[in-house]
Amino acid sequence: MSTARIPASAPTSSWPPLDYNQWRDTAVTLQLWTQIVGKIRLAQTPWLNHSWHVALYVTARGLTTSPIDFGNAQVEIAFDFIDHRLRITTSAGDSCEIPLEPQSVATFYTRVMAALSELGRPVSIDTMPNEVENPIPFPEDEAHVAYDAEAAHRFWRALVQADRVFKAFRTAFVGKCSPVHFFWGSFDLAVTRFSGRPAPLHPGGVPHLPDAVAQEAYSHEVSSAGFWPGSDAYPHAAFYSYAYPEPPGFREQPVRPAGAAFNPTLGEFILPYDVVQGDSSPDEALMSFLQSTYAAAATTAEWDSTLECSPGLPRRARVVRG
């Protein structure tokens, strides 16, 4: 197995504390806001394998859709968790901002749709949330109103750190691999490697997600890792790693660092965020988890080792031998 190098480790203080119970209400509201924005990208973008066309991306200030094709212009929608604004900009040079502040999901939805109309780019989206319990249509949701700016900022800072390490991990694989991207349905940052082999048809059954979407997402064998801030079902920020389909012996494989373990209820390896955040070398702790859990999948499923490569280095082309 190749070992990905990482940049000089960020100090522990760069990894903020995250207590799901302390910011739960903001997390729930923010997830729904990101779904509204993500569904705009979904509505305008041709389907890309494994739903890669719907994801958001971590930026130096928050999360972005990247440019969305509106035919006569490109539109980008970005969450800024420093100034706490939602910025909508177009390739035609016009823009508008919506404050990120305590407001209902219904109000946020109305403001976003109105802003796009005022910019001459109206859009219609599916207003039912995905992958959440007891969903309320966005235009009717007056229940979720919380926005703690400091908590949202901490969450974004955690995403920035995870994004850095995930991207370094991604460089040690020449096979098919997803971008490092943020899925608004499950509210997690993820990176996924593919063996190249087709997988058995996924059974579906993901709450409030069409089976066809899950089946297309898992059409091929994967080893996937990610980070999520917690949920009511699992109220802890954590890193995770799973294989689909799960090969025999996968969950019994040794993984690192201390504190990482297979969670049979969730069906994946879990590394509590607190373990990484409190480690004297958090980048190294997370990288060891990513590498060892990928090795667990690749070993037990007998992946082709030629999919692996030496880690990428700045300014240096990877050597290809004939």
On the 0-12 / 13-18 / 19+ scale of CB atoms within 10 A, 72 is exposed
List, in order, residues 6 or more apart from 134 with CB less than 8 Å away. none
What pLDDT, on a 0 to 100 scale, did the predictor assign at position 11?
55
What pLDDT, on a 0 to 100 scale, did the predictor assign at position 320?
83
């060892």: which residue's tokens? 292
Percent of the chain with pLDDT over 70: 96
What pLDDT, on a 0 to 100 scale, did the predictor assign at position 264?
97
What pLDDT, on a 0 to 100 scale, did the predictor assign at position 72?
86
pTM of structure: 0.94
What pLDDT, on a 0 to 100 scale, did the predictor assign at position 4?
55
Strand-pair category, 85-90 with 268-272? unpaired
What pLDDT, on a 0 to 100 scale, did the predictor assign at position 13?
66
Q: From the first residue on, what is the mean pLDDT of each consecutive set of 10 residues in the chain (322 residues)?
A: 53 85 98 98 98 98 98 96 98 97 98 98 97 96 98 98 98 97 98 98 94 97 98 96 98 98 97 97 98 98 96 91 71
Euclidean distance between CA atoms 79 and 43, whole angstroms: 19
The string of pLDDT tens digits covering residues 19-49 is: 999 999 999 999 999 999 999 999 999 999 9
The string of pLDDT tens digits covering residues 203-262 is: 999 989 999 999 999 999 999 999 999 999 999 999 999 999 999 999 999 999 999 999
